[in-house]
Amino acid sequence: MTTDPGKPNQLMPGEDQMLEACDDIWSYYGRGVIAITTSGSLTRIGKAVMGRGVARQAVLRFPGLPEALGVLLQERGNHVHLLGEGIVSFPVEESAWACPDLRLISRSALELRQMADREGWKMVVVPRPGCGGGGLDWREVRPLLDEYFDARFVVVSATTRADKV
């Protein structure tokens, strides 16, 4: 990991840039690690709230994710966590009822980059964090990811019926 001596624990942007694709994030399953955007919210019985977007899609595919993430949120807080099945969490908001937080997205990008470096991942696929149901503008979010993501990272925007025509 390359760091800027003037900024402890901050990665320097590499020459390799993240990739962008308009695609179904699940078409990458099995070829790379899939990041799902999450919040720090728990139900009364300790399950993570994963009610919309890619998180909801993940729960439909892997029903045990809310329990697994719930335990990690309680033990380690609202951070990037390895959830198994080639899935990692990517926090974008502190609660499921809050707006996405640009500072949290930036921290999550750093944590994901550090995890990818540590684990030796060759491909990590991330939805545009906070830009779907969260309502953020991609032009605000992209520079935060650019700071940490290199060519191993594919940022996917969802395809729509109009995209496929």
Convert the pLDDT of each residue in 74-126 to its tens digit.
Answer: 999 999 999 999 999 999 999 988 999 999 999 999 999 999 999 999 999 99
What pLDDT band is residue 134 in, cutting at 50, 70 and 90? Answer: confident
Rounded CA gap, 57 and 38, in Å? 12
Mean pLDDT check: name the lowest of 114-118, 151-155, 157-161.
157-161
Q: Is the pTM of this model over 0.75?
A: yes
Rounded CA gap, 65 and 61, in Å? 9
DSSP 8-state class, residue 137: -
Rounded CA gap, 158 and 139, in Å? 16
**Is the pLDDT score of 23 beyond 60?**
yes
**Is the pLDDT score of 10 beyond 90?**
no
Give the DSSP H/E element, type plus range, for residue 42: none
Token couple for 66: 């809310």
Secondary-structure class of domain 16-160 per CATH: alpha beta
Rounded CA gap, 52 and 140, in Å? 21
Give the pLDDT mean for 46-71: 95
Residue 58 contacts residue 37 (beta carbons within 8 Å):
no
Domain segments of the chain as ranges: 16-160
